Amino acid sequence: MITPTVAQAQIRDHAEPDLLVVAPAGCGKTEALALRVQGMLERGDVTAPRKILVVTFSNRARDNIRERLKSYVGPTQLRDRVWVVNFHGLSARIIRAHANVIGLSADLPIPERDVTGDACQKRDLDFNLTGRVKEALRDAKLEPRTDAEVDAFLVAQRETDALEIERERVANSLLAYEDLPRLAELILANDTVARLYRAHFGAVIVDEFQDLTPQQLRIVNRIGYKRTTFAGDLAQGIYSFTGAKPLEVSAAIETECSEKITFADSHRSSPAVLAAVNALAPLTNGVELTAAAPESWPSGGMLGIAAFEDVQAEANWVVSIAEAILNHSATQRIGIMARTAGRRRFIEEVLTKRGTEFMRWDDGVLDTDTARMMRAMLSQFDLNGYQKAMDKPAFLRQISGLESLLETDSRKNLADALSWCGDLLREGVSPAEIRGRIRVGDDSTLITLPGIHLLTGHVGKGQQFDWAMVVGAEDGVLPDFRSTTDEERAEEARVFSVMLSRARHGAIVSYSATVPTWAGDLKGKAPSPFLKYLERANPLAGDALIQWFKNVDWEQIAAR
């Protein structure tokens, strides 16, 4: 545990059940929410057998806050008095327990794959048409519509492909990801069910309020209206493609909550990193941040921009810098990020060719809970039974306990990991060797493991690294070429800001003058227009950037 800041202590000691916390990246939000839970339990604001519901947007964010809560309330109280879950997991639990109130079976399978995406692929729909289908179904299901009402909506909108896919889903008794909050909202419209949840949960904590859809806010309000702590930052709102409406949701929360506490001191990042984040504030509407202890950062931290003629030169340079950092200090965590996984692939190719270890955050087997389940399964693996099984994927699903999982992210991650495991078993790799390849799941997690981590800006949101290396900062990549409106481009700037704000000591942004298309042709690229804003932060470049790494005190960095 740490000594709380003034703002964190205010949040912990706030006696009213409702609260709005505006907390930019690195200002101690997760710590503050753990303190908030601790304060509620110690004051008796929520007494047994009632619990505190903590809702996140991903399993990784859930892991993060769970780790903090263990320090403040202990494992026993965490187990008995707090439930930490993501939104799809919460929705799945509501459906499992109360589907009958809307005339559905509780045995409907919780999705573990992108049902809509699979249906589009089966129909061989192109990229644009797939996007249109997903958008039509999202729009249809962001309101509390029954299956029949969704059908009527799609008919009225003349969305033929989406309508056919939806009717096939209903006929096969399947659920898609977008069905989970829709059905949960329909169920919670039943006053008897809503009262049960209000009685069970004495308070609600929502992490990253800016990512809420209006539908998710309505679900939260049915459980904990005027008893909810909302924490987040409008400048980190990067999920409009899921239906999030940061400005609309923020206005509603401002009306609901009686008090607002705003953070402005960063405890995560160096002055140089914060200068980069602040430089983008005119685009993101972010809070101006200052370092809580600027003198404690070796050389004040670092911000650099590196330009290259081609992606191969960029990838080789980025990987060499990452390797050099680890040679100086093996405990460092380096996040290499791009706007898209496709633009990041050149880094992965170089790492693989050099034999340098790295962790790809897109892999389900790297999810903490998934890795733990896989290691447990493989430690007592019945290889003879597997080899004799007629349906080997079904065998793996059964022994792994997949069907007992209700959280959609957990099911998807475990299903992906089982597919990976099955591929290796077919190649003759032993269960023991497969188990040895899983590097997290016991005492180590992606949140704490040193080394090189590959991810996208969206995946890494909410996490931190000692160094953030943002590759592919070209116009058309960042911002994405499909972002044409002012708000869409503002959201792209927020994605950029989120990637930079992951860094503690330093951030490097790189771009290439040419980038290969998927067809293999070279395409000329201009630097991202966002880079002109970074110039206000006086970034290092060329020899000055290399000299910084040569001159900085690495013992101080390792100790910070």
Q: What is the pLDDT of residues 221-237, one digit of tens each?
A: 999 999 999 999 988 89
Q: What is the DSSP string of 471-519?
A: ---BTBBTTBTT--SHHHHHHHHHHHHHHHTTEEEEEEEEEESEEE-TT
Average pLDDT, the chain: 91
- Cα 110 from Cα 88, distance rounded (Å): 10
Asked if residue 151 has pLDDT above 90, the reply is yes
pLDDT at 412: 78
Q: List for the chain the helix, strand, coil content (%; round to 5).
A: 55, 15, 30
Nearest-5° Cα angle at 466, 462 to 468: 70
Among the residue ranges 141-150, 401-410, 440-449, the one predicted with the least confidence is 440-449
Both tokens of residue 397?
């699903």
Among the residue ranges 405-409, 446-450, 532-536, the one predicted with the least confidence is 405-409
pLDDT at 292: 86
CB 477 within 8 A of CB 470: no
Name the band, by pLDDT with cuts 50, 70 and 90, for residue 367.
Answer: low
pLDDT at 344: 93
Name the band, by pLDDT with cuts 50, 70 and 90, for residue 416.
Answer: confident
- Cα 369 from Cα 374, distance rounded (Å): 9
Among the residue ranges 122-136, 177-191, 374-388, 438-452, the one predicted with the least confidence is 438-452
Domain 6-90+186-263 sits in which CATH superfamily?
Answer: P-loop containing nucleotide triphosphate hydrolases (3.40.50.300)
* 32 contact partners, CB below 8 Å, separation of at least 6: 4, 7, 8, 11, 12, 21, 23, 231, 263
pLDDT at 110: 85
The three-class DSSP label of residue 297 is coil
Name the band, by pLDDT with cuts 50, 70 and 90, for residue 171.
Answer: very high
Asked if residue 87 has pLDDT above 70, the reply is yes
Nearest-5° Cα angle at 497, 495 to 500: 110
Name the band, by pLDDT with cuts 50, 70 and 90, for residue 287.
Answer: confident
Q: Which CATH number fits domain 271-360+450-559: 3.40.50.300, 3.30.70.20, 3.40.1390.10, 3.30.565.10?
A: 3.40.50.300
Asked if residue 167 has pLDDT above 80, the reply is yes
pLDDT at 106: 86
CB 467 within 8 A of CB 301: no
Higher pLDDT, 459 or 278: 278
pLDDT at 548: 94
Per-residue pLDDT, averaged over 353-369, amounts to 79
**Ranges for all domains in the chain classified under CATH 3.40.50.300:** 6-90+186-263, 271-360+450-559
Both tokens of residue 77?
């109280």
Higher pLDDT, 121 or 91: 91
CB 121 within 8 A of CB 434: no
pLDDT in tens, 495-534: 999 999 999 999 999 999 999 887 778 889 999 999 999 9
Per-residue pLDDT, averaged over 119-140, amounts to 89
pLDDT at 365: 64
pLDDT in tens, 252-270: 999 999 999 998 888 889 9
- Calculate what percentage of the chain has a pLDDT beyond 90: 68
Among the residue ranges 98-102, 160-164, 323-327, 484-488, the one predicted with the least confidence is 484-488
Q: How far is C-alpha 261 from the geometric centre of its chain's CA atoms?
A: 24
CB 88 within 8 A of CB 409: yes
pLDDT at 441: 52
Name the band, by pLDDT with cuts 50, 70 and 90, for residue 445.
Answer: low
CB 217 within 8 A of CB 249: yes
Asked if residue 120 has pLDDT above 90, the reply is no
- Cα 289 from Cα 501, distance rounded (Å): 11
- Cα 300 from Cα 13, distance rounded (Å): 33
pLDDT at 366: 60
The three-class DSSP label of residue 405 is coil
- Cα 391 from Cα 379, distance rounded (Å): 21
Name the band, by pLDDT with cuts 50, 70 and 90, for residue 117.
Answer: confident
Alpha-helix runs per DSSP H in 380-430: 383-388, 392-400, 408-426
pLDDT at 64: 80
